[in-house]
Chains A and B, each alone.
Chain A
Amino acid sequence: MKIIIAGAGEVGTHLAKMLSNEDQDIILIDNDQSRLDVIDSNYNLMTWNASTSSISSMRDVGVSNADLYIAVTPYETRNITSCAIAKRLGARKTVARIDNSEFILPDNKAILKNVGVDFLIYPENIAAQEIAVALNHNWARYWGELHNGRLLLIGVKLHGDSILINCKLKDLPVKTHDFHVAAIKRNNETIIPNGNDELLRDDIVYFITTPEHIQEVRDLCGKKKRIVKKALIVGGSPIARRFARLYGEDFHIKIIDNIRENCEYMATLLPNCEIVYGDALDIEVLRENNIYQYDAFLALTDSSETNILSCLTAKEFGVPKTIADVENLQFLSQAENLNIGTTINKKLCASSHIFKILLDADESNSKFLALADAEVAEIQVKPKAKITKAPVKDLKLPVGMTLAALVRGNDIQLVGGNTHIQEGDYVVVFCLSGTIHKIEKWFN
């Protein structure tokens, strides 16, 4: 697919790198050559130094036969303008990054559609929603829903009180196969496990399960269900404001910010929330605001370092759930090891959202979720495929893959050793990056 990305900011750059590793034709436009230089010489894509709203340079770059045009500069109006031009010039689909919640209202979408913007990306909104998911399912590190929530992908970090620790997968106390361990992340490495793999302490284990069996997974991991009612937010950033705006009713929210004007502005904007003026790195301030009483601590300032450190402080105060906004990608893996609970990254949220749009549009691609070194694919079983020959346990399937679940008609079920896959089924497969072609052979 030919994809043009306008704006080599953080989101644009990240998206370009990610998509270029996915064998897509990427052209990245920006008017700042110095931003393009680094990525141009290191990645398999093309860069173009031009204004993102220049019609002539859009023609030069070949917008007319682009499959997707993504405008992700920091300026909303510029993005919409450039999408509008791109659409008129012949781009098949356009995506614009916005920061105005009005645009995503269903009534207003049609207006933008008429202008020529097909999809909208509102990174703050996506991040706020992700925070809400993390608060509602606060025992999990990762919560992903497939097939409209009928199949769940849950990532859990195993602590000392889980009975799963040092268990081999084949010895798991499972009678009916109500869940499936799809992947294990251990020391920055991803393992697609087989029966002989053991679960260790501090692994992040990814389970595939159905909504009925969530409780069982949770109990096995030694986690308790906790309802979050009160949330303390540090930093009145756009994500914090968006979150307070969306979920001010569901949670009791207090926001601490160290800029007075910001506080006053938020006080008028968010009448439901308590706004406090103060420096959140000061322990006295936290103590004054009764940090002990809160169920959740959200560090959403613009500085990743501050967020990580203040989450660690909050953990010491005994706040059960902490969430840090870590915008610096280098810190992300470190932050996950620091035991600060969930991390949120606006760029990753936005780019994975755009990635989904892309995958939906590209029918030849069976992948529907991509992680840096593991892939999740949904593959339809063709008639007379090798995989239908015998029940799963009798097939000699390659290492580095696991069949997680299958969709047969309207029925969703997990795949076990005795499952016999039939033609026409859609099978959800986990595999390591780059091995998907080997696996597709089994299905054709």
Chain B
Amino acid sequence: MFFYKKQIYYINILMLLRVIGYLLVIEALFMLIPCLIALIYHEKSLIDFIICAGATGLSGGGMMMLRPRSKDMGKREAILLTGLTWVILSLFGMVPFLLTGTHMSITDAFFETMSGFTTTGASVLNTLDGVPKSILVWRCVVQWIGGLGIILFTLAVVPMLNYSGGMQLFNAEVTGITHDKLRPRVSFTAKSLWAVYIVLTAILIVLLSFSKMGFFDAFCYGLSTMSTGGFSTSDMSIAQWDSLYIKIVMCIFMFLGGVNFALIFNTLTGRSGNPFKNTAFKCYIWIILICYAVFVINLLFQGVHRNWQFFTIDPLFQTISILSSTGITEPDFKEWGSVSIVLLLLMMLMGACAGSTSGGAKIDRFVVLFKFLKNESYKMMHPSTVTTVTINGKGTQSSVVNKTLAFLFLYGVVICVGGLILSLMGLPLSDSFFCALSAISNTGLGTEVTGISENYAMIPDCAKWLLAAIMLIGRLEIFTILIIFTPTFWKK
């Protein structure tokens, strides 16, 4: 006896909307955090946040009520859903910025929210003084949700997605060349990753709240640091405290935010003995050490003197902050000279390990690229040699190399095209490419027009929409978004 399931061949839109409904309800729950803050600090924005949470929750709840005929979701649905989710969640997430007293335009609010969800951390707010605390905390919460991925969170908590359709979603959202499954069921994998994330964030918040900053700032910085986003709570950023303790703690956790969470989980649970056998992790550490050394030498030659921290902890903080795509900068970074800027560009491009909350093209891919280049140049001399790229002591298939090369090529294309269009929109040449790189790598820095670590307020509106799109492309690792715009995707 053998029965076939009826298959639905075109896009299962009801199911898509239903899953998005779940996601919106989850977002509404997260909106309760700023409500609480507003309540504690007696801010007027409380009403606005309650309205937002209610509206989001109700629309989500309404969509959850849909009863699709089939629960099947294929690759097409998964890709579309992932793209749509990030856009729709940003649209709902931007409402608080519109309602409360920050006087943002729709463009600015969308840019700010997308910048948050993608953990870019680029801001259009001229000054953070006078911005309600509830808005500040909402920006950080948005980054924290986006850090590991809202869909991953949904996979962990919605049992309905614990089947092969969920697997597709996992593949579409999680970063990296290959996707490590920690356990056989996708919901367990998602739960394990989120458990690591939550525990690390909690530890960070506790550690920070022992410092000079109060609990509110510790909470915000905890969320935005662990997600390697980098929104801050004041114009002075962390410079206002000038505390060695805060810098060291944040260094450690930005570093952890750049490590593959699967690796952290496996190490903590003792499933894979030595993390230093992981190629990408090893490279990550080496790159940090080398960049740090270059910064220190550069600073010594520059002859800018201030105090001992200026040569020790500051360059390290800067290195990890950029490499992990957090993008919190030292106030006097502009004085560090042009070598630093070049190094900065390279580090932004590189990013940290795949499977972390960081952005960039990911170290894993560069490892594959460089090993491949090494093999190819060796083959120039010894043509009959057979080589493979070895990662974590195992040979990989040539398809992995192909995927990596295709990805890196597209990454370059997006930066070039993005930079080109931005310059057409009237940004200075160097700025336009820098902004494109900064957006795709989810770092969130801008030079000159904006001034490093200053905000994006003065760039034209159309450029903001473009940058928001580039951020999303960078966060979902290009293919997930770009493929939606190809004709083959929509072919029946």
Contact = CB atoms under 8 A, between A and B. Distances in A.
Query: Which of A27, A46, A206 has the largest count of B CB atoms less than 10 A from its CB?
Result: A46
B1 interface: yes
Contact of B184 (A46, A343, A372): A46
Interface stretch (B37-45, B165-173, B385-393, B453-461): B165-173
Given A45-B185, A336-B2, 16 more contacts: A21-B164, A33-B397, A40-B181, A42-B167, A43-B164, A44-B164, A44-B166, A44-B167, A44-B184, A44-B186, A45-B184, A188-B3, A188-B4, A333-B4, A371-B1, A372-B3
Contacts of A332: 2
B181 A46 contact: yes
Query: Which of A27, A43, A206, A371 has the largest count of B CB atoms less than 10 A from its CB?
Result: A43
A34 B186 CA distance: 21
A25 B4 contact: no
Contacts of A190: 3
Interface in B117-168: 162-164, 166-168
B277 interface: no
Nearest to A41: B171
Interface of A: 2, 20-21, 23, 25-27, 33-34, 40-46, 141-142, 144, 155, 185, 188-190, 206, 332-333, 336, 343, 345, 348, 371-374
B163 A44 contact: yes
A25 B2 contact: no
Contacts of B168: 41-42
Contacts, number: 67
Contacts of A40: 181
Contact of A46 (B75, B164, B183): B183
Given A345-B2, A372-B3, A373-B5, A41 B184 contact: no
B164 A42 contact: yes
Interface residues of B, number: 21
A144 B1 contact: yes
A336 B5 CA distance: 15
A20 B164 contact: yes
A373 B167 contact: no
A241 to B, nearest CB: 25
A333 B2 contact: yes
A277 B164 CA distance: 48
Interface in B1-38: 1-6
A413 to B, nearest CB: 24
Contact of B3 (A34, A43, A374): A374
A356 to B, nearest CB: 14
Contacts of B185: 23, 25, 44-45
Contacts of B3: 185, 188, 190, 371-374
Nearest to B3: A372
Contacts of B167: 41-44
A131 to B, nearest CB: 15
A374 B1 CA distance: 11
Query: Which of A27, A45, A155, A348 has the largest count of B CB atoms less than 10 A from its CB?
Result: A45
Nearest to A187: B6
Contacts of A206: 1
Contacts of A144: 1
A21 B2 contact: no
B183 A372 contact: no
Given A44-B163, A44-B166, A46-B181, A372 B4 contact: yes
Contacts of B183: 25, 46
A398 to B, nearest CB: 15
Contacts of A348: 2
4 smallest beta-carbon distances between A and B, as pairs: A372-B3, A25-B184, A46-B184, A142-B1
B184 A189 contact: no
A26 B184 contact: yes
10 contacts: A23-B162, A44-B163, A45-B185, A46-B184, A185-B3, A188-B6, A343-B2, A372-B3, A372-B4, A372-B5
Contacts of B162: 23, 44
Contacts of A142: 1
Interface in B205-220: none
Nearest to B2: A332
A173 to B, nearest CB: 26
A340 to B, nearest CB: 14
B187 to A, nearest CB: 8
A6 B2 CA distance: 25
A27 B4 contact: no
Nearest to B163: A44
A2 B188 CA distance: 13
Contacts of B186: 44
Nearest to A17: B164
Nearest to A369: B1
Nearest to A434: B71
Interface in B386-433: 397
Nearest to B165: A44
A188 B6 CA distance: 7
A89 B397 CA distance: 30
Contacts of B184: 2, 20, 25-27, 44-46
B391 to A, nearest CB: 13
Nearest to A141: B1
A372 B3 CA distance: 5
A433 B5 CA distance: 11
B266 to A, nearest CB: 11
